[in-house]
Amino acid sequence: MGFVEFYNASDSFIWDKFREGNPNAFEIIYERHIGVLANYGKRMCEDPEMVKDAIQDMFVDLWKSRNNLNKTDSIKFYLLKAYRRNLIKKIIAAKKIQSHSSEGEIYNGGFTLSHELSIIHAEMEQAKINQLNQQLEELPPRQKEALFLRFYGGLNCTEISEFMEISHQSVLNMVYRALETLRKTMGFKAFLLLSVWGYLV
């Protein structure tokens, strides 16, 4: 089966072919997801080599274990999840070497969104854009990650909750909270998120 057959094929079809060991399916999976993986990785981790190494390890593991993989309808979700695990393992390992810290140290998350918003609305002043960027960067890492997964990665709430191992409601809260912070700067009319805020207080 050549490249063309996969063109409009669904994720589950490509995934099944990949599990059967089809190398073209493997390449299509790589080509289609390298973008989102790179974008996610570069925000999780500052070291570009580590970002790449984790991608490489993840794909090699995936290929080697192709016979034992489960079915999936969203390859992107599957890869991001596997990639996150791999990357965090590497980040923790690197931290241990750096600080000679003990086994018990837990990765407490890190996610960078700096100077992301460059071209927003033409009518917006640069000063405001800078302010927004700063606020975005100052959000707690988990909020930034959820925001990114939703708005860049296109994952839905259920996927994000499974991905970050938090409840559905916590995802909503995190995203709403992040948006509320940004909204204040944007000067929009008041959010009507009282029902959500109720859970937070």
Partner 1 sequence: MDFEKYELGDFIMDESFHKWVKNPSTEDGEFWEGYLKNHPDQQADVEEAKKIIQMISFQDKSFNKEEVSKLWDEIQMEAKHGKSMDSNKFNPWKLLKVAAVLVPFIIAAVLFVFYRQATEPQPKLAHQIIEKTIPRGQKLTVFLSDGSKVILNSESSIKYAKPFGKNQRIVELEGEAFFHVTPDKARPFVVKTVTMKTKVVGTSFNIKAYSTDNTISVAVRSGQVLVEDISQKSSEKPPKSMMLSHSEMATYSLETHEISVSGYDPKEVLGWSDGTLYFDGAHMDEFISKIERWYGVEVQVKRKETIKKGIVGEFHDQSLEEILMGIHESCEFDYEIHGDKVIIK
For residue 173, what are its two tokens? 């809260």
Distance CA 41, CA 199 (A): 31
Q: Which residues contact 163 (CB under 8 A, 6 or more apart)?
A: 77, 80, 81, 84, 149, 155
Cβ count near 25 (within 10 Å)? 23
User: How far is the CA of 32 from the CAs of 36, 72, 75, 118, 152, in angstroms?
Assistant: 8, 16, 10, 25, 15
Q: What is d(CA 87, CA 85) in angstroms, rounded to the nearest whole number?
A: 6
Asked whether 153 and 74 are in contact (CB, 8 A), the reply is no
The residue count of the chain comes to 201
For partner 1, the binding residues in 28-47 under the rule CB under 8 A are: 30, 34-35, 38-39, 42-43
Residue closer to partner 1 (CB basis): 102 or 118: 118
* Span of 68-76, 81-89, 95-103, 143-151 interacting with partner 1 by CB under 8 A: 143-151
Question: To the nearest whole angstrom, how small is the minimum distance from the Cβ of residue 118 to partner 1?
Answer: 7
With respect to partner 1, which residue has the nearer C-beta, 32 or 109? 32
Using the contact rule CB under 8 A, the part of the chain among 27-35, 71-79, 92-100, 101-109 near partner 1 is 27-35
Phi, psi of 13 (to 5 degrees): -65, -50
Q: What share of the chain is helix, strand, coil (3-state, %, to 5)?
A: 70, 0, 30
In the complex, the smallest distance separating the C-beta of residue 169 from partner 1, rounded to whole angstroms, is: 12
Identify the residue among 85, 101, 191, 199 touching partner 1 (CB under 8 A).
191
Using rule CB under 8 A, residue 5 touches partner 1: yes
8 Å CB contact between 6 and 28 = yes
Query: From the CB of 57, what's the least distance to partner 1, in Å?
Result: 9
Does 21 engage in binding with partner 1 (CB under 8 A)?
no
The three-point CA angle 8-11-16 to 5° equals 110
Task: Write the binding mask 120 to 139 for partner 1: x where contact by CB under 8 A, - elsewhere.
Answer: xx----------x-------
Tell me how far, at minimum, the Cβ of 185 lies from partner 1, in Å. 10
List residues near partner 1 by CB under 8 A: 2-5, 7-10, 13, 27, 30, 34-35, 38-39, 42-43, 52, 55-56, 59-60, 63-64, 113, 115-121, 132, 147-148, 150-152, 154, 156-157, 172, 175-176, 179, 182-183, 186, 188-189, 191-193, 196
